[in-house]
Amino acid sequence: MLYIERDQDGHIVAIRQGQAADGLEPASLLDEEVLSFLRGSGEIDALAQVLSMSDASIIRVLEDLVDVLVRKKVILFTDLPAEAQEKIRQRQRMRRRIGHDQIMVDDIL
């Protein structure tokens, strides 16, 4: 999760990733104020890094979405390309091993 730190005038002075802390407020990658701060600070690399940080959570959401669609019989798992099936199976095995197999988007449909 991203958090922003503001100065006394309410302007963003820093963007942090991790746990909430005093003086920090949750932020979204879609927030225009966050994007403007990154653009204005010349932190193009930071903007790319922020986008990259969101990749892992999006992957998890997509995995869970596939699970929900298969469970609700909207699609068949075998409809996916063989490479995608294998990657999903590998990640499912890893998630079971570490005990994080709870669906995140179970109510999406």
pLDDT in tens, 52-62: 777 777 888 88
Give the global pTM. 0.50
CA 70 centroid distance within chain: 22
- The larger pLDDT score, comparing residue 41 to residue 107, is at 41
pLDDT of residue 108: 38
pLDDT in tens, 67-77: 999 999 999 99
- Spell out the residues 6+ positions from residue 3 whose beta carbon is closer than 8 angstroms to its own: 15, 16, 17, 18, 20, 21, 24, 25, 26, 27
Among 77, 75, 107, 74, which Cα is nearest to 92's? 77
What percentage of the chain carries pLDDT values higher than 90? 31
Helix (H, G, I), strand (E, B) or coil at 4: strand
Residue 106 confidence class, pLDDT cut points 50, 70, 90:
very low
